[in-house]
Chain A
Amino acid sequence: GEDVEQSLFLSVREGDSSVINCTYTDSSSTYLYWYKQEPGAGLQLLTYIFSNMDMKQDQRLTVLLNKKDKHLSLRIADTQTGDSAIYFCAEKKVRGRDDKIIFGKGTRLHILP
C-alpha cells in the first residue's frame, strides 16, 4: 500500500471545524508535516510535529499525532473560505544516512457557504 494515505475530499461548512486525517507506515519517521497547496501555487508548509510529541497547536491549527496507530490529523477551527485548498500530509523517513519526505496524495478541502 501507499506510504502515506489520506482521503481525497472533504467538504465543511464555513465556520465549522475541519479535520483532515492521515495514516503513515514508517514508525521511524522523525517529522510529520502538513502542507497547503492553493490553486496555481506550490506547496506551503503549514505546520509540522516532531515524532515524540502528541499535539501541537498554532492559532486555528491543531495537529494530533497517535504514534501507536501511526495516525496524524489536522484540525482547522472556524474554517474560512481562504482555507479552501489541497492539504498534503507528509512524513520524513530516515533511510540510512539520507532522509526522505514522502507525501500523501492530498485532501481537497471544499468550503460550503
Chain B
Amino acid sequence: ETGVTQTPRHLVMGMTNKKSLKCEQHLGHNAMYWYKQSAKKPLELMFVYNFKEQTENNSVPSRFSPECPNSSHLFLHLHTLQPEDSALYLCASSQEPDSREAFFGQGTRLTVV
C-alpha cells in the first residue's frame, strides 16, 4: 500500500461513453499527477495539480478532463475516447511538485472498445 488509491482497477468503455477515474491519497500531499502508461512507450505525464490548481497540461486532448476538488482527490473525466487511449492510467502524489519522491497508485487499466 502506497497511500494512493485508484478506482476502478479495470474499466472497459465504448467510444461514446462518459466515465471517470478516481484517485485518493491519504498522505497529506499537496501535489497530484496523472500519468499514462501505454505499451512500449515511456510513461507520459498528463496533468499536474498543486494545491488543487492545475499547473501543467502536457498537450493532452480535451477528451480527458481532470478535476481536483481538494488536495486529497483527483479525477480524470473521460468522454468520446479512441481505442488508442487504451492504457494504464496512473495517479501519483508528492508533498510538493518539486519533492524528491512521488508515490503511485496501482493504476486503472482502461480499454476503449
Contact = CB atoms under 8 A, between A and B. Distances in A.
Interface stretch (A10-18, A43-51, A60-68, A72-80): A43-51
A21 B45 CA distance: 23
B68 interface: no
Given A2-B42, A105-B40, A98 B97 contact: yes
Contacts of B107: 41-42
On chain B, which size bracket covers the interface?
20 to 34
B111 to A, nearest CB: 15
B42 A104 contact: yes
Residue from B4, B42, B100 with most neighbouring chain A CB atoms (10 Å): B42
B40 A42 contact: no
Interface string B84-113: 000000101000011011111111000000
On chain A, which size bracket covers the interface?
20 to 34
A48 B106 contact: no
Interface string A86-104: 0010101000001111111
A105 B42 contact: yes
Interface of B: 2, 4, 6, 40-43, 45, 55-56, 90, 92, 97-98, 100-107
